[in-house]
Structure 1
Amino acid sequence: MKSTRSFMFLICPVMVLLFLYYSSGRLHLRSPVQKSREYTCRHMTVFLTPLELQYKYGNLSKGECKPGYAEAKMTSIYPKFSKPAPMFLDPNFKRLSNITSYTPPFGVRTQEKIIDHILQATKRYSLGSELDSISCKKCIIIGNGGILFNKSLGSQIDQYDVVIRLNEAPVAGFEKDVGSKTTMRITYPEGAIQKPERYEKSSLFVLSAFKLMDFKWLRLMVFKEKLRSMEGFWKSVARVVPREPEDIRILNPYFIQEAAFKFIGLPHNNGLMGRGNIPTLGTVAITMALHNCDEVAVAGFGYDMNTPHAPLHYYEKLMMSAIKESWTHNISKEKEFLQKLVKVGVIQDLTNGI
């Protein structure tokens, strides 16, 4: 009995000390100042203050890639942001529960068979071994805005590991301003380049599907079959995509869903396309990059409606006044979201148009 009391006398202080140590650690991690600087690292949640962010990244050489920087910054304004989200669909896409409940553009429901058929032909579902092996990726999304014209950003743009272009915006003849490097071109049928000779010699063709017809169109392009009708499209579409199946990808529709409902706050409309609830392709591409890149920059984003005679796009003479109210997009709410990203430092805007 005496030995038992002696044992308890020794063990209790140890347990109290362990409890206090554990509690102080928990309290420290959940302090109010740090709670706003949260990012997810594997299975642990860590909180970084602005000073800790500065300490973590401030001593890196100028231009050196900052591992996890976009994620750490993103969670300062969206604490539930979680980085893992595959860039492209692969044969296991049905495991992604967040997209199987929605039809396009926010998911894949009703399109599973045709997607399976496409993926069996493409056989590749990533950026490629060279880019996949880079431990810290710097990505840039090139918008099509006239603000890019005569900025001479081409050489700076080409320094990024991943250069993402949108729709049919040309490169040839505009290299001084937009660079010559293209890692991928994200588009949909109506936005795709229609003249085969205008495609880059090597880049990934990435479909962002907004409607059921888009997957049917992609299947024809992958299998080099003839498009017999334009029915179901709102304007003419490409009839040929000069890419081999292994250079074709399907963008994960989760990025459309997340950008619309979680970030911009667009109407849910029971998960169906409706008035003003579809994010622009540029914002979808930025959302994708935030999940898959360590640093994210943009160029050529932003339309200044106060200057109606400014060029709308960098590659044509169409003026800003040509913009009409969009049925599908909410430009003002989307701009608020992008401005927030720039202000907090989640993304860098090289042309200061946002």
Structure 2
Amino acid sequence: MFNPRLGAKAAQKDIRGALRGAVGPGGSQPQPLPQRVGSGGGRGLGSTRGSEHRLRHSSSGMGSPHWKRLCLLLLAAFSSSLVLYGHYYATVELPAGQRIIASLLQPEPLLLAPSGTSHPAGSHRALRDSLERESFKPSSQPEERNRRQPSPCPRSVVEAARAHPAFGELFQFATPVLMWDQHFNPETWNRLKERHVPYGWQGLSHAAISSTLRLLNASANRQLFDRRHFPGGCVRCAVVGNGGILNGSRQGEAIDAHDLVFRLNGAVIRGFEEDVGTKISFYGFTVNTMKNSLIAYEEYGFTRIPQAEDLKYIFIPSDVRDYIMLRSAIQGSPVPEGSDKGDDPRKYFGPEVSAEKFKLLHPDFLHYLTTRFLRSELLNMQYGHLYMPSTGALMLLTALHTCDQVSAYGFITGNYEQFSDHYYEVEKKPLVFYANHDMLLEAELWRSLHQAGIMELYQR
């Protein structure tokens, strides 16, 4: 049965190896897994493998057809619950008394928006093998970031990363961060159709991808921001997660002092301005996390997606529905197909939006981030194809590849048990570790980047 603590330890060992210069351009990624249903410190229903083991044990020990039938019924009920709910939780006691609760699918408690694509059994092996064997090849069209030499900042991300013996090898700043119309060609299609989302387009239709990308044809779609708007030349960015460490932090003024501010998912601002500020330049999400956040965090005041004239939206292409929603948002028309059919994008992004408002992360960029920075032992689990870095991790790493200086607020730190899961919760709730993310690996990465002077991590 999967042990979250062992998986996290192995993943942390992996990133520590990277810091010793052991990680090359290839990699494998993290994976979500089936776990145990339980609450508190009580015993719960075991994993699939554990259930099978107990079934065999009960059958051989009892030898009664009644017990065999009973165990088969229990196993069938357990399997049905996976189909009906799409995810379940696991509670594992750690030596320090910590509890890691793992959910199989979504970063929100409810699977309100099921995936539009299915993955055959064993597909996680192909994904893992792909990540292990592929060497990332930077685009022949370098990002604006790579043409800036030198940076006027006292110590930029690029300078700090290149000076570090391990991170200097991990960072490839020529990697395309965003995807736009010129990226869509036969070579790209043939290559990416072999990878699962979010790292490619396997199982997605050519029409769905091409019809969306052809709309991303403005210069604003090619870069996260225009450097000409920052005459000083040093672009300072804050990435604001939703962690409970920000409750009572009084970091709002410091956050708003940055040139650009990234927020994500259930970014509650009203009532917490002193702690998290009010400025917002980018809002990052997948369609699934966006919709689930609107329901899960409505009681805390998150009743609509942030809207502002200067705000830009960063789509994370985790499924075909992200491409379809993006296309409909640019066209200003209801979603024509899929799980969001009939949905009006204007209620999320405002009545008057254009293609310039939207950014789309490149599948190659997501592949690169996972293989080099956030490889996890979760990939070796049964549901490995569900793994991807968290939304917060993707936004923070996006900022690290585009901004000159980066500060992270509201991200997991070593003393996370002292704080609630989110900063806007009235009563303290324990941090939840979901099985499609490796939060402890992410925590180790943030700590290492902070210690290397590549970014500033808010801690208390």
Say yes or no: TM over 0.5.
Answer: yes
CA apart distance, 1:337: 2.0
Compared with structure 1, are the counterparts of its residues 173 and 76 closer, same or farther at alpha carbon in structure 2 (3 Å cutoff)?
Answer: same
The change in CA–CA distance for 1:267 and 1:210 in structure 2 (over 3 A counts) is: farther
| Structure of greater relative contact order (alpha carbons < 8 Å, 6+ residues apart) | 2
- Partner in structure 1 of residue 143 of structure 2: none
Query: What amino acid maps onto 1:199 in structure 2?
Result: Q
Paired residues in the alignment total: 288
Contact residue 184 and residue 210 of structure 2 kept, 8 A = no
Give yes or no for contact 1:131–1:161 (8 Å, CA) kept in 2: no
- 3-state SS, counterpart of residue 321 of structure 1: coil
**Residue identity matched to 1:92:** Q
The worse-fitting range, judged by mean Cα deviation, of 272-281 and 84-93 is 272-281
Q: Where does residue 264 of structure 2 map in the other structure?
A: 166
Q: In the aligned structure 2, how far is the partner of 1:94 from the partner of 1:279?
A: 24
Aligned position for 1:117: 211
1:306 aligns with 2:417: yes
The correspondence of residues 243-254 of structure 1 with structure 2, limited to 5 A, is: 244-245=353-354, 246-254=356-364
Match of 2:224 among 122, 127, 130: 127
Show the counterpart of 1:92.
182
1:317 aligns with 2:426: yes
TM-score, normalising length from structure 1?
0.68
Residue aligning to 1:157: 255
| Contact residue 224 and residue 359 of structure 2 kept, 8 A | no
Which position in structure 2 is the counterpart of 1:19? none
- Aligned residue for 1:170, secondary structure, equals coil
Q: Please give the residue correspondences for 1:17-96 in structure 2 after superposition, counting only pairs within 5 Å.
A: 66=156, 68-73=158-163, 76-94=166-184
Shift in Å, 1:318:
5.5
Counterpart for residue 210 of structure 1: 318
Shift of 1:187: 0.7
State how far apart, in whole Å, the 2-side matches of 1:67 and 1:341 are.
Answer: 10
Shift of the alpha carbon at 1:201?
4.4
Secondary structure of the corresponding residue to residue 373 of structure 2: helix
Counterpart pick for 1:105 among 195, 198, 209: 198
Instruction: Tell me if the contact between 1:190 and 1:238 (Cα under 8 Å) persists in the aligned partners.
Output: no
Q: Is the Cα contact below 8 Å between 1:196 and 1:240 reproduced in 2?
A: yes
Distance 1:185 1:345 in 2: 26
Deviation of residue 112 (structure 1)? 5.2
Aligned-pair CA distance for 1:160: 1.5
Q: Does 1:338 align with 2:428?
A: no
By how many angstroms is 1:101 displaced? 4.7
Which amino acid letter does the alignment assign opposite residue 330 of structure 2? V
Change beyond 3 A, Cα 1:162–1:170: same
Answer yes or no: is the 8 Å Cα contact 1:141–1:297 preserved in 2. Answer: yes
Displacement, 1:196? 4.4
User: What letter corresponds to residue 235 of structure 2 in structure 1?
Assistant: K
Cα displacement (A) at 1:206: 1.2
User: In the alignment, residue 127 of structure 1 is paired with which amino acid?
Assistant: L
Q: For 2:196, what is the secondary structure of its paired residue?
A: coil
CA RMSD of aligned residues (A): 3.7
Report the alpha carbon displacement of residue 70 of structure 1 after superposing the two structures with TM: 4.4
Instruction: Indicate which of 284, 289, 299 corresponds to 1:191.
Output: 289
Tell whether 2:454 aligns with 1:351.
Answer: no
**How far is the alpha carbon of 1:141 from its aligned partner?**
0.8
Describe the SS at the equivalent of 1:92: helix
**Which of the residues 385, 392, 406 maps onto 1:282?**
392
Alignment check: 8 A CA contact 2:241 2:411 kept: yes
In structure 2, distance between residues paired with 1:132 and 1:91 = 26
Once the two structures are superposed, residues 235-266 of structure 1 have per-residue CA deviations (whole angstroms, 9 ceiling, x without a partner) of xx996321602212212233322232211222
Alignment correspondent of 1:6: none
Letter in 2 for 1:321: P
Residues 165 and 186, structure 1, Cα contact 8 Å, conserved in 2: yes
Mark the CA change 1:68 to 1:165 in structure 2 (over 3 Å): closer, same or farther: same
Q: Which amino acid aligns with 1:89?
A: M
| Cα 1:177/1:225, change in 2 over 3 Å | same
Distance across 2 between alignment mates of 1:254 and 1:131? 28
CA distance in structure 2 between the partners assigned to 1:175 and 1:253 by the alignment? 34
Which moved further from structure 2: 254-263 or 63-72? 63-72
Tell me the secondary structure at the aligned position of residue 157 of structure 1: helix
Q: Distance in 1 between matches of 2:224 and 2:199?
A: 22
1:332 deviates by 2.0
CA 1:273/1:350 → structure 2, altered by over 3 Å: closer, same or farther? Answer: same
Counterpart secondary structure, 1:139 = strand
Distance 2:373 2:270 in 1: 34
- Identity, in percent, stands at 21
1:220 match: secondary structure: helix
Aligned 8 A contact 2:224 2:402 in 1: no
Query: For the residues of structure 1 that align with 2:401 and 2:192, how far apart are their CA atoms?
Result: 16
Secondary structure at the aligned position of 1:284 is classed as helix
How far the C-alpha of 1:221 sits from its partner, in A, is 2.8
Question: Are 1:175 and 2:273 matched, yes or no?
Answer: yes
Classify the secondary structure of the residue corresponding to 1:219: helix
